[in-house]
Structure 1
Amino acid sequence: MPQKKPVVVVTRRLPDVIETRMMELFDTRLNHDDTPMTQSQLIEAVKMADVLVPTVTDKIDLGVLSQTNPNLKLIASFGTGVDHIDLATARQRGITVTNTPGVLTEDTADMTMALIMAVPRRLTEGERLMRSGNWNGWSPTSMLGHRIWGKRLGIIGMGRIGQAVARRARAFGLSIHYHNRNRLPDYVENELEATYWESLDQMLARMDIVSVNCPHTPATFHLLNARRLALLQPSCYVVNTSRGEVVDENALTRLLRNGKIAGAGLDVFEHEPAVNPRLLELDNVILLPHMGSATIEGRIDMGEKVLINIKTFIDGHTPPDRVLQAML
């Protein structure tokens, strides 16, 4: 008698090729209209699922996990970050959590570098000027920005993405500096020509551009708070492609409005999808809709990791991308 396929509930639309393969392998329940699930819908999902496939938009907290059925033993998250999942409660209930690390490194680093270049050179301001019909032609003092060659880049979080950003930035002539929970080995620092700062405060005060590339954890919530943001030079630019919660968005907005920070490139926001309306009024800020990892190749690679994690777990083995709290 054939073995019953596990019930896999997917909370958002995934690439067609991934959804097709999921339906072939498992008893898959899809979210065809791609509307984010409410908490009550997530509760219904965990009541029926053997495997839940959420994304970063789904808050899998105690209220949801307390309603799980006894057969739910795996949460195979579609994404790298796991700050949307109550890992402690999942562990207490015997639920394994996996994610999709590594596949988004180059895409996110590309977007970070694009913002590092675009904000000081005022690219979106220039594009808006062209579309407005108000451009009167070239002049020596029109649309002046700042070069990035020779500037100091401070990277907060020197994991896979931070290191990929450093490699790109070196090619553009930036001086690489970083703050990390743990110092990198000498050979990595030498390869990246990177200077380590044990004190985040001291690094911030000396940088021309700051790039946020650390994960959101309880320890990094508002890591860039009002006090630390005030340490930045008025000529400094802030780029965040990590998580909005790492930066105190209200404090950042105040400093940008008051000319205490030169500009910002933000792909993530503290209260997504809501954006501080005062940010929308600023010309010296580039705002993107959390698209740092949004490539077709990246999304398919993520989906394939989810499939491997589920299949490995169902076959009775430890999935390759199991999340351990000690790793956070």
Structure 2
Amino acid sequence: MQAKILVAIPVFDAVLERLREHFDVEACGESAITERDELVARLQGKAGIFVAGTPRIDAALLDACPDLRAVCSMAVGFNNIDLAACTARRVLVSNAPGVLTETTADFGFALMMATARRIAESEHFLRAGQWTEWRYDLFAGADVHRATLGVLGMGRIGQAIARRGALGFGMPVIYHNRSRLDAGVEQQLGARWVDKPTLLREADHLVIVVPYSAESHHLIGAAELALMKPGATLTNVARGGVVDDAALAQALRERRIAAAGLDVFEGEPALHPDLLTVPNVVLTPHIASASLPTRRAMADLAADNLIAALGNGRNAGRPPTALNPEVLQKT
């Protein structure tokens, strides 16, 4: 008898068909499951769930869904999943790191460039029919080439962004991370570790790529923004909540920094209304990994994890990107 799973988000038809070869699949349809009560109801009798961003999977939900054995996400971030609670109940959790590194770095760099060069702001001006003459200062922004790139969070994606800046645009790269990179990696990237205040003071373009956690909540707030140069830009492709969006909107309105590019927001898909009232911000709806090849790779990896975690016989195995593989050990 096939294990039952819930696919809680819309996904590629080919991935659904692959899952149906191994499981009794209940798919969410055209819209993701966003209400907690619905998620609990539809998880009854299910051994696994295929997710990205869903209502929080925590101890209370797990206790209400006692058959659940695997939570497999096609996203990298897993702050919507209580890993400790899952581990305590021997529920396997997996994410999808690695496969989206280069695509997200492409987008992060593009968003930073659009922010620096005021692309969105100037497009709105043009579409509104306001362009009537050439002026020397018409939407004059900041240079990217040879400007100082600051990277907050030097994991896979941060390093990929640093490479683009250093090798492609001749940017001096400074970074701050909880742990310093090996000297050889720093040399390869042309990157210099600095403390956080120095990063904020010296960066012409700050790109944030840290994972979200209780420790990184509002890592960039009013005090941190006050340290930045008036001509600096801030780009967030990390997670909503890492930046205090209200404080950022105020800093942008008062021109205490030049501009910001945001792909993630606290409480998304809702966003702070003040961000919609300032012109010097580029807003995108959490699409940094949204190329078709990358999204397919993310979905396939989540399917690989589910099949390995819940499969029988030759289909059983070690999920390739398990976050708590110890739950698979026999007691």
Q: Give the TM-score normalised by the residue count of structure 2.
A: 0.93
Letter paired with 2:321:
D
> For residues 150-161 of structure 1, what are the structure 2 equivalents within 5 Å?
150-161=146-157
- Aligned residue number for residue 312 of structure 1: 308
How many equivalent pairs are there?
Answer: 321
Cα deviation, 1:166-186, whole Å, max 9, x if unaligned, reads: 111121122111111111111
Q: Does 2:33 correspond to 1:47?
A: no
Q: Does 2:133 correspond to 1:137?
A: yes
SS of alignment partner, residue 268 of structure 1: coil
Contact 1:22 1:28 in 2 (8 A): yes
> For residues 46-195 of structure 1, what are the structure 2 equivalents within 5 Å?
46-69=43-66, 71-170=67-166, 171-195=168-192
- Aligned residue number for residue 246 of structure 1: 242
How far, CA to CA, are the matches of 2:319 and 2:134 in structure 1? 58
Deviates more, 1:41-50 or 1:90-99: 41-50
**Aligned counterpart in structure 2 of residue 32 of structure 1, from 29, 36, 40:** 29
SS of alignment partner, residue 203 of structure 1: helix
Letter paired with 1:41:
E
Contact 1:104 1:298 in 2 (8 A): yes
Once the 2 structures are TM-superposed, how far is the Cα of residue 57 of structure 1 from its aligned partner?
A: 3.5
- Aligned residue number for residue 21 of structure 1: 18
Cα deviation, 1:114-142, whole Å, max 9, x if unaligned, reads: 11111111111221122112211323232
SS of alignment partner, residue 244 of structure 1: coil
- Aligned residue number for residue 321 of structure 1: 321
- Aligned residue number for residue 273 of structure 1: 269
Letter paired with 1:109:
A
SS of alignment partner, residue 301 of structure 1: helix
Once the 2 structures are TM-superposed, how far is the Cα of residue 24 of structure 1 from its aligned partner?
A: 2.4
How far, CA to CA, are the matches of 2:33 and 2:274 in structure 1? 26
How far, CA to CA, are the matches of 2:150 and 2:139 in structure 1? 26
How far, CA to CA, are the matches of 2:160 and 2:4 in structure 1? 38
Deviates more, 1:263-272 or 1:22-31: 22-31
How far, CA to CA, are the matches of 2:134 and 2:54 in structure 1? 44
Q: Does 2:35 correspond to 1:9?
A: no
Once the 2 structures are TM-superposed, how far is the Cα of residue 325 of structure 1 from its aligned partner?
A: 10
Letter paired with 1:100:
A
Q: Does 2:291 correspond to 1:292?
A: no
Once the 2 structures are TM-superposed, how far is the Cα of residue 147 of structure 1 from its aligned partner?
A: 0.9
Cα deviation, 1:216-253, whole Å, max 9, x if unaligned, reads: 01221111122212211111110001101111111111
Contact 1:119 1:237 in 2 (8 A): yes
Q: Does 2:202 correspond to 1:206?
A: yes
How far, CA to CA, are the matches of 2:150 and 2:17 in structure 1? 43
Gaps of 5+ in 2: 327-331
| Large movers: runs of 4+ above 6 Å | none
Gaps of 5+ in 1: none
How far, CA to CA, are the matches of 2:171 and 2:76 in structure 1? 28
Contact 1:15 1:299 in 2 (8 A): no
SS of alignment partner, residue 246 of structure 2: helix
Once the 2 structures are TM-superposed, how far is the Cα of residue 15 of structure 1 from its aligned partner?
A: 1.4
SS of alignment partner, residue 282 of structure 2: strand
How far, CA to CA, are the matches of 2:171 and 2:275 in structure 1? 27
Letter paired with 2:2:
K
Give me the CA root mean square deviation: 1.6
Contact 1:46 1:65 in 2 (8 A): no
Contact 1:224 1:246 in 2 (8 A): yes
How far, CA to CA, are the matches of 2:253 and 2:285 in structure 1? 21
Letter paired with 2:126:
M
SS of alignment partner, residue 147 of structure 1: coil
How far, CA to CA, are the matches of 2:133 and 2:256 in structure 1? 31
Contact 1:268 1:289 in 2 (8 A): yes
Q: Structure 1 vs Structure 2: percent identity of aligned residues? A: 36
